[in-house]
Structure 1
């Protein structure tokens, strides 16, 4: 199943959100900007790699509005563009002179008014080329940039000939990452051939809809309503057969199944990415509570920590996320209360349930008790546990999730959600503020695809849960957990909620007997050679993202923390760590593939002894 280096994952998907990095060496090459890898990239995770359509549209905007040496980033609203400008000016001012940033509004309308297409609005952030890393940070951390489908819509309404610049501007060819998160400067090279670009519109649509029929383009509001109802858990009937009814105004809804029956679709907000939901959750709590540091509890996906560090007054990082760190949290709360008796000791506590990639779960009841005692908010990212398996809302004020993962499954659309707990102490203030400030920037066409993908998510999750548990049980039986003194075992540890902090996970597990432990696990190895052999031998897709309907693996520490491996290792993210998201393949075929990979890893020990 492994695909060509740099190609879209899934293949032949115009808006794929992953990219093929088939070997350990390829992943290192991606992080170091190796030309062999960079030149092959025609796809990538959307917050790290600018889709070819976005690059092309940015080029048009730079030629039309830019001055010599300027580059740009594209956003869907003025408010977001202003937030990008403020971020760039603030961050650059901390290290020297503030960078000059210009904003331009660009409304693009179809030349043919009978085409049925509506006008599209772009907000362009223009800046000197050497300030690109700052703009890229905002794009990556917030997840608020224009989507590739919106870029395609804009391009379809522009003349086929790009405007000629009145004076030369900086060249914009496809963006490739030349190091971990953002380049010191953009690295430009000619793109490899993208097989998807050679498809006509009908063929492309056929490929995208091979997963099922979409709602018509004009039904975006109903698609979003259907998703909000699914996430709120209020749909009385929600199976693939009911898809055409889920978003209608007269659809039957009932009490929520989210652990708090009062939750309604009006407590659910949709965003263009999961990280946008997290960024907006942080902005929300900053807007309603006295200013104070937040707490990041447990080792999170990298951009969550960056958001807490770069916006607001900063955060306390309790990166292990274990029970002993709740003791440390209590000391922080006591000290901050003593020093600042006029306000709550912290703004909010952010945690993942479980965490990515170590699959640890916090003791949510204990954290909730502390939040009630010291009057701070709790924000939980439930992406990995997902609300089919766990109920975290009763312990949270705000719950966020990346819909791009298992809720979608098809890896061809991005999205995120934010849910308010209507029983929370600060619900009224949160609700009032988000009602005033919320912008719907979830592009309609992305919502159409996401709604289609999510119709059978409950059924898919059950299959994925069962497959993952079978694979993990098999691998653990061949690990040091079972044979701690063996000299021919290569797996050090399996990180999976069934084995990792199971008491905390099970406390929040839903009462349904079919509820499982999710589709993600990680494993570490006794040597780097064993880790590489295991990873390279796996025949599944290799690349970023998770929660896909197909199995997807990556050397996580290399991919997420290449320039800070020593720092990540302090929190248990070893260089040898491989993260695996299990899909819906046949269980026996999965077990055979992992057995083959494990044997290749074990062979490295005998080879080293020879």
Structure 2
């Protein structure tokens, strides 16, 4: 059977619940087509969870990984497969810090290292898995289970070189400044490990409304992280003096509000105090933003717009040559895992069209943003075009990214009807060639909805990653849903 064409046959109805997005064995998203499905997913309802044919890889174990885990699990012990012994040891140490009396052990299996732990430690293993993005991937599991062949190492080495050269050409830097990692969050993990070696035992300071795991990783896995949402430079300076963070973390732009802090000014404040700046440009993308003069470490989820297919997990970390700490970063760089062979080859193939695809995604998103703004049912649209700082960081002729968020005048009841009737695929992730929508706040902040609302992110907010569909056809789908 041919894979489902999600540009023309999206997973948007109740019967599509749990369908992989895309229709591929290594899909990284899953269809949650109705509002009630999102609620059921968050409430851990058995019928919903049973319907899921896959899962976002950091939020749980992909079916191939779960099969491997079941094969190596022992009575009373739950299995968490990791790509290297170093990662498994780090996960084990995290579990024992959080649950000192827990039972844990490490076991090798077909080139992977599995952390076996009891019920007291398993939630901490899951947290490490989610926040760091360092779990074994579906391709690694497929190879370990004998379902797929391991690629030749020379082919993988060539793929990594081509990816780094492709990224370097986009950033305008030397390929040697870029390292490849199993996910965007593991790119952040590599950055935080460097910071820990430079500034041991210090928390981070994150500015702006956070993507949940960018904030949670330093809070849970390292030495804490504080959040400051104010854009006032005096308040930021005071927070830097009070907290004395090991690093400042910013997102370019934030998710889902799609705003940027005043990066040049924040960097001056941080550098004056001897504090490095870590940035995430996943949403803005290096094709659109020129930020290397203002950041010390730049991490990216290559899973998203760079790959564009939604069937490979990967991330990168760029150590800016302009950073005052550049040589110290190079000396301290020793990640516990790098991008594996099979995913490197998949990523290289997927990203060959990135220079053509991403500008089209951006243009389609801008068109949809303008049309939504003019619709009477829409209360507000969040899009980077309205952020003056984003504009100031843009390259000549660049776009604004493929992501937008919007609110409706009638709140949750209307948002639910629009979501349920919207004929595009619906589920987590972004940057795919097919459009994806989700009630972002419910998925990312279900247990802290009041806090999110106080931050200007209501539960009824809808987030859309715009794909390569014909813009007029896509608008017809939205306009039909908006009158539902």
For residue 223 of structure 1, what is the aligned residue in structure 2? Answer: 159
Higher relative contact order (CA 8 A, sep 6+): 2
Task: Supply the distance in 2 between the matched residues of 1:411 and 1:335 (Cα, whole angstroms).
Answer: 41
Mapping 1:472-483, distance limit 5 Å = 472-478=369-375
For residue 292 of structure 1, what is the aligned residue in structure 2? Answer: 202
| Corresponding position: 1:140 with 2:130 | yes
Tell me how far 1:82 sits from its aligned partner. Answer: 0.9
The 8 Å contact of residues 2 and 22 in structure 1, kept in 2 or not, is answered as no
Equivalent of residue 17 in structure 1, options 19, 28, 32:
28
For residue 580 of structure 1, what is the aligned residue in structure 2? Answer: 464
For residue 108 of structure 2, what is the aligned residue in structure 1? Answer: 105
For residue 452 of structure 2, what is the aligned residue in structure 1? Answer: 568
Tell me the TM-score normalised to structure 2 length: 0.94
- Secondary structure, aligned partner of 2:385: coil
Task: Supply the distance in 1 between the matched residues of 2:217 and 2:61 (Cα, whole angstroms).
Answer: 20
Task: Supply the distance in 2 between the matched residues of 1:136 and 1:291 (Cα, whole angstroms).
Answer: 23
For residue 45 of structure 2, what is the aligned residue in structure 1? Answer: 34
Deviates more, 1:348-357 or 1:35-44: 35-44
Tell me the TM-score normalised to structure 1 length: 0.75
Deviates more, 1:52-61 or 1:20-29: 52-61
Equivalent of residue 400 in structure 1, options 299, 321, 324:
299
Q: What stretches of structure 2 of length at least 5 have no aligned partner?
A: 1-8
- Secondary structure, aligned partner of 2:10: coil
The 8 Å contact of residues 217 and 448 in structure 1, kept in 2 or not, is answered as no
Equivalent of residue 470 in structure 1, options 341, 359, 367:
367
Task: Supply the distance in 1 between the matched residues of 2:338 and 2:292 (Cα, whole angstroms).
Answer: 24
Task: Supply the distance in 2 between the matched residues of 1:458 and 1:228 (Cα, whole angstroms).
Answer: 14
For residue 232 of structure 1, what is the aligned residue in structure 2? Answer: 168
Mapping 1:449-468, distance limit 5 Å = 449-468=346-365
Mapping 1:183-582, distance limit 5 Å = 218-233=154-169, 258=171, 263-318=173-228, 320=229, 322-324=230-232, 326-336=233-243, 345-434=244-333, 437-478=334-375, 489-499=376-386, 502-511=387-396, 513=397, 515-526=398-409, 527-582=411-466
Task: Supply the distance in 1 between the matched residues of 2:368 and 2:183 (Cα, whole angstroms).
Answer: 30
Task: Supply the distance in 2 between the matched residues of 1:125 and 1:412 (Cα, whole angstroms).
Answer: 25
Task: Supply the distance in 1 between the matched residues of 2:240 and 2:142 (Cα, whole angstroms).
Answer: 49
Tell me how far 1:593 sits from its aligned partner. Answer: 1.2
Task: Supply the distance in 1 between the matched residues of 2:447 and 2:140 (Cα, whole angstroms).
Answer: 33
Q: Deviation per CA, 1:190-219, whole angstroms, max 9, x where unpaired?
A: xxxxxxxxxxx8xxx9xxxxxxxxx97741
Task: Supply the distance in 2 between the matched residues of 1:91 and 1:532 (Cα, whole angstroms).
Answer: 39
Tell me how far 1:373 sits from its aligned partner. Answer: 0.9
- Secondary structure, aligned partner of 1:82: helix
Equivalent of residue 60 in structure 2, options 45, 49, 56:
49
Q: Deviation per CA, 1:311-333, whole angstroms, max 9, x where unpaired?
A: 33312211x3x522x32221123
Tell me how far 1:334 sits from its aligned partner. Answer: 3.4
Task: Supply the distance in 2 between the matched residues of 1:593 and 1:17 (Cα, whole angstroms).
Answer: 24
Q: Deviation per CA, 1:53-110, whole angstroms, max 9, x where unpaired?
A: 1111111112xxx3x31111111111111110111111124xxxx312111233x3xx
Tell me how far 1:439 sits from its aligned partner. Answer: 4.6
Q: Deviation per CA, 1:39-58, whole angstroms, max 9, x where unpaired?
A: 11111111113111111111
Q: Deviation per CA, 1:235-261, whole angstroms, max 9, x where unpaired?
A: xxxxxxxxxxxxxxxxxxxxxx53xx5
Task: Supply the distance in 2 between the matched residues of 1:217 and 1:291 (Cα, whole angstroms).
Answer: 38
The 8 Å contact of residues 250 and 279 in structure 2, kept in 1 or not, is answered as yes
- Secondary structure, aligned partner of 2:179: strand
Tell me how far 1:290 sits from its aligned partner. Answer: 4.8
For residue 10 of structure 2, what is the aligned residue in structure 1? Answer: 2
Kindly tell me: are residues 550 and 216 of structure 1, through their superposed partners in 2, closer, same or farther at Cα, counting changes over 3 Å?
farther
Task: Supply the distance in 1 between the matched residues of 2:115 and 2:323 (Cα, whole angstroms).
Answer: 38
Task: Supply the distance in 1 between the matched residues of 2:231 and 2:90 (Cα, whole angstroms).
Answer: 37
Name which one, 1 or 2, has greater alpha-carbon Rg: 1
Task: Supply the distance in 1 between the matched residues of 2:402 and 2:207 (Cα, whole angstroms).
Answer: 22
| Corresponding position: 1:83 with 2:90 | yes
Q: Deviation per CA, 1:474-524, whole angstroms, max 9, x where unpaired?
A: 11112xxxxxxxxxx43222110112xx2100111002x2x1110001112
Tell me how far 1:132 sits from its aligned partner. Answer: 2.0
Kindly tell me: are residues 335 and 131 of structure 1, through their superposed partners in 2, closer, same or farther at Cα, counting changes over 3 Å?
closer
Tell me how far 1:440 sits from its aligned partner. Answer: 4.6
